[in-house]
Amino acid sequence: MPGYNYQNHSLVAVDCIVFGFDGQNLKILLIKRKLAPGQGMWSLMGGFVQNEESADEAANRILTGLTGLEGVYLEQLHTFSKPDRDPIERIFSIAYFALIDIHQYEKQINDQYSAEWFLLSEMPALIFDHTEMVSMARKKLRYKAAMHPILFELLPSKFTVPLLQSLFEDVFETTFDKGNFSRKIASTGMLLRQKEKDKLGSKKGAYYYQLDKKHYKKNFHKIQRLVPNPNGLI
Amino acid sequence: MPGYNYQNHSLVAVDCIVFGFDGQNLKILLIKRKLAPGQGMWSLMGGFVQNEESADEAANRILTGLTGLEGVYLEQLHTFSKPDRDPIERIFSIAYFALIDIHQYEKQINDQYSAEWFLLSEMPALIFDHTEMVSMARKKLRYKAAMHPILFELLPSKFTVPLLQSLFEDVFETTFDKGNFSRKIASTGMLLRQKEKDKLGSKKGAYYYQLDKKHYKKNFHKIQRLVPNPNGLI
DNA sequence: ATAATAATTGTCAATTAAACAATTATTTTT
DNA sequence: AAAAATAATTGTTTAATTGACAATTATTAT
């Protein structure tokens, strides 16, 4: 096969930062590494990009292998490229972040990877530059969530406004007035109120809502203003 | 040297989308390709990442070689990875976008690459997936400029408010009321008015301003609201 | 002097935000 | 069965911001 001669070839991998929300706190999914280097340490889930697949396809393949879930929200984050980031040989790593409904995952858990959910505040040390990847992913999550309705990917298809608020509060590390939050989110026109209520969380019960992304474009600026001065965006 | 065996190694390159502003319109810098494949076609400036450098360093090296400028604003955009994006062999390309003061460039132009500035509306067809790279870069530029003071990188260190406004209008493909724009930008506290005026553009003359990034964090939300419903963000 | 031009500042009604208060629907306790 | 407790939802009020447009200002050209 002809090629570009005299140029160095390298390994290219993907690593996935997987976020979930348990109703109280944002969590991250880590695996315990089985092979050297870094055997026994915690790490992000990753793998090499194969010949016939794109990086997106590789990330999806790896994520499905880990969680059993297909079609989850996955977005390319950043490519990490320091020459010595892996001690064995040079590896470029294309990092992706994923948002999954943690309850869907729990049913289908595939434990061959010794995977575990961690609170972000209790995350252990990770191999290589994975800690830096996670911190960039957290920042990007806030960045994106301040502008687009992506946090809904972390919730079940029917959810209550108070649950949504506690997710926003956890992501942005702040609190909102509940009355104002509920009106603001309603004014985006994205939420369709269901007939049923969730009675587990409170006596009065909170209405379930479903997301209707169709007309969020019209009221895009209202999403922008849900979080006035989003923590960690600067 | 030991390594991860049985895994495929690939070429990894960087490509740079270079934006400039001539006072009227946003422009992009392209080069005419000298080698096959795609000889004679227009393309982004790029090159392979070398053994001892990170992708950031490679992008900086390539950009300095093209423009003679150092320390320009450069940000990683996205890694393009379709297996057949280059017809010769598989190449991962880490795309970067750069913002430069076009007037600085003109003084130092290095023409060994047959580089030319194009209006975005008059951009020719590009090789491989470079057109897709440019369109993603334009979107990211709007995205970032709606939240952060990066468009200033395209202007000389002293600039007038009307010039800044015309840049915003070109990037977001809209128009603003000049009175309101000038007050909004002033209220961010980022601009320091100079004593001199620019008398070329008008009879009255417009004050020069300098950027003072120090206290833009305090009024971050005001930058967010400079552009109410930024075109192309969705 | 006057007109022309574009920058800058002024005005005001309409909208939105933020803080906080009141009401509502339900379950638990008395 | 009534009362208390709880958390969701809706109301109220004031302050701040926005957007549209008008007036003023500083200068050059006629």
Residues 6 or more apart in contact with residue A135 via CB below 8 angstroms:
none
Chain B residues whose CB is inside 8 A of the A12 CB are: 10, 12, 81, 92
- Collapsing DSSP states into helix, strand and coil, what is residue A83? coil
Q: What is the 3-state secondary structure (H, E, C) of chain B?
A: CCCCCCCCCEEEEEEEEEEEECCCCEEEEEEECCCCCCCCCEECEEEECCCCCCHHHHHHHHHHHHHCCCCCEEEEEEEECCCCCCCCCCEEEEEEEEECCHHHHHHHCCHHHCEEEEEHHHCCCECCCHHHHHHHHHHHHHHHHCCCCCHHHHCCCCEEHHHHHHHHHHHHCCCCCHHHHHHHHHHCCCEEEEEEEECCCCCCCEEEEEECHHHHCCCHHHHHCCCCCCCCCC
Output the CA–CA distances (angstroms, integers) from residue B205 to B195, B196, B197, B199, B208, in the order listed.
Answer: 12, 9, 6, 4, 9
Residue B2 binned pLDDT confidence (cut-offs 50, 70, 90): low
d(CA A229, CA A226): 9
The yes-or-no verdict on residue B214 having pLDDT over 90 is no
Closest nucleotide to A209: CA versus each C1':
D8
pLDDT score at A112: 78
Residue type, A23: G
* B48 vs A contacts (CB less than 8 Å): 4, 7-8
The DSSP bridge partners found for residue B115 are B31
Please list the ranges in chain A whose pLDDT falls under 70: 1-2, 107-110
Any A CB within 8 A of B213 CB: no
Q: How confident is the model at residue B185, as a pLDDT? A: 96
Closest by Cα among A63, A98, A92, A62 to A77: A98
How does pLDDT run across A83-139, given as a tens digit for each residue? Answer: 999 999 999 999 999 999 999 987 666 677 889 999 999 999 999 999 999 999 999
In whole angstroms, what is the distance from residue A131 CA to residue A226 CA?
A: 29
B75 alpha-carbon distance from chain centroid: 9
Can you give the distance from the CA of residue A188 to the C1' of nucleotide C14 in angstroms?
Answer: 19
pLDDT the model gives residue B144: 94
Which pLDDT belongs to residue A228?
81
Record the tokens describing residue A164, joined without a space: 């949504």
Predicted local distance difference test score (pLDDT) of residue A192: 96
CA dist A215 and A192 (Å) reads 11
Nucleotides of chain D within 7 Å of a protein C-beta? Answer: 5-12, 17-23, 25-29
What is the distance in angstroms between the Cα of B106 and the nearest Cα belonging to chain A? 32
For A171, list phi and psi in degrees, rounded to 5.
-65, -40
Q: Which residue is nearest to nucleotide C26 (CA to C1')?
A: A204
**132-161 of A, contacting B, C-beta below 8 A:** 143, 147-148
Residues 23-82 of chain B with CB under 8 A from chain A are: 48-56, 76, 78-79, 81-82
Residue B62 pLDDT level (bands cut at 50, 70, 90): very high
CA distance A95 to chain B (A): 10
Strand C close to A204 by CB, under 7 A = yes
On strand C, nucleotides with any atom < 7 Å from a protein CB are 4-11, 16-22, 24-28
Q: Return d(Cα B165, Cα B147) in angstroms, integer.
A: 16
- Strand D lies under 7 A from the Cβ of residue A23: no
- pLDDT attached to residue A232: 79
Does residue B109 have a pLDDT over 80? no
pLDDT at A99: 98
Query: Would you mind telling me the total number of residues written for chain B in this entry?
Result: 234
Closest CA to B56 of A91, A82, A129: A82
In three-state secondary structure terms, A124 is: coil
Q: Are A158 and A194 in contact (CB under 8 A)?
A: yes
Q: Which phi and psi angles does B178 have, rounded to 5°?
A: -70, -35
Q: Which residue is nearest to nucleotide D28 (CA to C1')?
A: B203
Strand D, CB < 7 A, residues 26-85 of A: none
Query: Looking at residue B129, what is its pLDDT?
Result: 98
CA of A176 vs C1' of D15, distance in Å? 19
Q: What is the mean pLDDT of chain B?
A: 93
pLDDT digits (tens, 9 = 90+) for B153-203: 999 999 999 999 999 999 999 999 999 999 999 999 999 999 999 999 899
Cα separation values, B94 from A139, B76, B206, Å: 21, 7, 41
Q: Which of B5, B54, B74, B81 to mutate to test the interface with A (most CBs of A within 10 A)?
A: B81
The residue length of chain A stands at 234
What digits encode the pLDDT tens for the residues B143-152? Answer: 999 999 999 9
Distance CA B99, CA A199 (A): 54
d(CA B45, CA B58): 12
Give A198 CA → D27 C1' in Å: 69
Rounded to whole angstroms, how far apart are CA atoms B131 and B182?
A: 35
Residue A229 near chain B (CB below 8 Å): yes
Alpha-carbon distance of B218 to B149, in angstroms, equals: 13
Rounded to a whole number, what is the distance in Å from the CA of B3 to chain A's nearest CA?
A: 6
